Homo-oligomer: A and B are copies of this chain.
């Protein structure tokens, strides 16, 4: 009956998951802000454009775990900064056609190595535990379904 009294936030899985993710994200965001002046939403859009070619806001919303308004605003900032262009998709004029400019491509080329290095740091810290962590994440993200 003291079960409830014994509850400890520091062993509570949702809390711990949130705490790690927050720290990793903050560190990552800080590095990106300092070195490149961009935010995480902006970085996600850039990377998605880089891998996917021409893409609409809707595509990014679906694949990158962001609300459409967040995507829209990130895209506007990137356009203002000269990293992407927005054009109308002529086959469906509701859709935007987001595209990297040469400066955008150049930026991504500089961003990616930093991201990969950051991931490597994480993996190095984890050592053989990476696999377990990734397996757990995969289940929670329902990757299979």
Contacts and interface: CB of A to CB of B under 8 A. Distances in A.
Interface of A: 4-5, 7-10, 12-25, 28, 44, 47-48, 50-51, 63-65, 109, 112-113, 115-116, 118-119, 122-123, 125-127, 129-137, 139-141
Interface of A is mostly: helix
Contacts of A12: 115, 119
Contact of A18 (B21, B48, B113, B129): B21
B136 A44 contact: no
B7 A17 contact: no
Contacts of A131: 132
A24 B142 CA distance: 12
